[in-house]
Amino acid sequence: MKKLLLRSILLCAALTQLSGCNNEDESVTSIRLAHGLDTKHPVHQSLVYMGEELHRLSYGTMDMKIFPSGQLGSEREIVELLQIGTLDMTKVSASSLEAFVPEMKVFSLPYLFNDSEHFWKTLNSDLGKGLLEAGSEYRVKGLGYFDAGSRSFYTTDVRVDKPSDLDGLKIRVMNSQSAVDMVNTIGGSATPVSWGELYTALQQGIVEGAENNPPSFFFSKHYEVSKYYLLDEHTSIPDVIVIGTHRWNSLTAQQQEWLNEAMRLATEYQRKLWAESTEMSLREVQAAGVEVIVADKTAFQQVVEPLYQELEGQPVGELAAAIKMLGEQQ
């Protein structure tokens, strides 16, 4: 706790230099948002658009100050700063929210969604909206979702097109128990490695593969040390835009309405950007010599079925069943 408070004090000093912990113009309400992505990333561009829309909708009485590229800490550190009120908003992967909102684990289950239509139908449903509110007791409130695509496997030297090809391969995963369980169930050897160290780990053979969406595969330049990209699309884990409840409760009802509308418009904009970025990324990595393989998902779905059986009768299992039911109603 002392470490977090010290970090908060130092961060406030840094924010004073960058943007001011207090607004110079007290008639403008500033929302301070930090995230870990590069400024070229479609998520950052969409957050900039959100800030512009917030400024327009509020007739210039609200603005958004964005601190990208992890300059204010990791996803978990930023969420903790939201909880104590030092920062206002962030973009965080649903998998990183598992520690604060256990129900978010459902998004880490493989082959949960039939397709993009099922994915967005779920996020826009009462179930998806309920998950955004589930973090309120942990002092974070979800405003909406961004598309983070579907994660697929890529490997350095071994061509993979069926589950047995992953047997024994050291596959980098996020520091998430759900991700570890999924890769191990398929037959790989899940190996948590930090994102910043992954390029070197692939290059030196510390791991023999990893898994991520096409834009991340491209922008990270992991295609330079990976020969194969298997489009198996095992998980679709959304990004979540969250605000600290301290900050949300400090806003007027009108300001909250403006922020919600800016979120809605930014989601539409980001979905378009993401689709374009995914198409471009796959085209570029193929041009660089990567073999893109379209997987037969049926075999992979059968292999991971035990993960669902283990969750029967548990809250996350019930959520997964409800999401599957939404897919059947399409």
Please write down the HEC assignment for all residues of 144-158: EEECCCCEEEEECCC
Which pLDDT band, with edges at 50, 70 and 90, does 38 fall under?
A: confident
Percent of the chain with pLDDT over 70: 92
Q: Please report the domains of the chain, with CATH numbers, ordered by start residue.
A: 2-148+238-279 (3.40.190.170), 151-236+289-328 (3.40.190.170)
Q: Can you say how many angstroms the Cα of residue 292 is from the centroid of all Cα atoms in its chain?
A: 23
Token couple for 90? 């962030």
- pLDDT tens per residue across span 309-320: 999 999 999 999
pTM score: 0.87
Q: For residue 171, give the 3-state DSSP assignment.
A: strand
Tell me what pLDDT residue 14 has.
52
CA distance 116 to 5: 41
Average pLDDT over residues 89-107: 89
Min mean pLDDT across 3-17, 93-107, 270-284 is at 3-17
- Residue 7 banded pLDDT, cuts 50, 70, 90: low
* 217 or 22, which is more confident: 217
Mean pLDDT of 84-94: 94
Better-scored residue on pLDDT, 105 or 11: 105
Question: Is it the case that residue 18 has pLDDT exceeding 50?
Answer: no
Beta strand residue intervals within the chain, DSSP E: 29-34, 62-67, 89-93, 140-146, 151-155, 170-173, 189-192, 209-212, 228-235, 239-244, 291-294
Instruction: Give the chain's mean pLDDT.
Output: 91
Report the C-alpha gap between 178 and 307 in whole angstroms: 9
To the nearest 10°, report the CA torsion of 207, 102, 36, 41: 80
- Residue 203, CB-side half-sphere exposure with 13 Å CA sphere: 9
Mean predicted confidence (pLDDT) in 131-153: 95
Which parts of 251-314 fold into alpha helices (H)? 253-287, 297-303, 305-310
Model confidence at 154, pLDDT cuts 50, 70, 90, reads very high
> Which tens digits make up the pLDDT trace of 119-131?
999 999 999 999 9
CA distance 68 to 18: 12
Condensed to tens digits (0 to 9), the pLDDT of residues 155-171 reads 999 999 999 999 999 99
Q: What is the pLDDT at residue 25? A: 64
| Statement: residue 235 has pLDDT above 90 | yes
> Is the predicted pLDDT of residue 1 greater than 80, yes or no?
no
Supply 239's token pair.
């990004």
pLDDT of 100: 82
Give me the percent of the chain exceeding a pLDDT of 90.
79
Q: How far is Cα 125 from Cα 123, in angstroms, rounded to an integer?
A: 6
Between CA 81 and CA 168 the distance in angstroms is 39
Q: Within its chain, how far is the Cα of 298 from the centroid?
A: 25
**Is residue 21 over pLDDT 70?**
no
- Tell me the pLDDT tens digit for each residue of 259-275: 999 999 999 999 999 99
**pLDDT at res. 175:** 76
